[in-house]
Amino acid sequence: MHRGFALLDVISPCVTFNDHEGSTKSYLHTREIARTAVFKDFVPEEKEIIAVVEQEVTRVNLHGGNQVSLLKVNDHYDPANRSAAATYVRQRQEKGEIATGLLYINDDLPDFHETSGTVDRPLASLDYETLNPGSKKLKEIQKAWS
């Protein structure tokens, strides 16, 4: 929705979100390429944790008894000041807190679409042949990037 770079911190600790057949981020795919992702094969089903984080520290109890302290940046926070943003995040970390929200923005930088040459349309609106051009085209793309 804007040009440039933005750093947002949104807490979503679901480790099984992409754990489905065909995902390159699943536990199975990770095992198949022989990289250790986790040392646990089973994640028990638990009740969803929902927290409303305001501009004061919100402590959230996690399953297993751990706790995280979250803090939403306030209305006076300046996300355009890179140095101040880094200092703010570091100060929060030293207090054991996690800052959430828009932490840094720089609209002078080129955006992801410019640097990556992505398509103008949402991927969900593209037809199958465009999204999956076949192994020959994939080899051409890989050769161009090597």
Residue 130 has pLDDT above 60, yes or no: yes
Buried b (16+ CB within 10 A) or exposed e, 41-79: eeeeeeeeeeeebeeeebebeeeeeeebebbbbeeebeb
Q: In what order do the strands lie in the sheet with 58-61?
A: 5-9, 97-106, 67-72, 58-61
What pLDDT does 14 receive?
52
Predicted confidence (pLDDT) per residue in 83-123, tens digit: 999 999 999 999 999 898 889 999 898 887 788 888 888 88
| Every domain of the chain and the residues it spans | 5-114
**pTM of this prediction exceeds 0.85:** no
Higher-confidence position of 64 and 87: 87
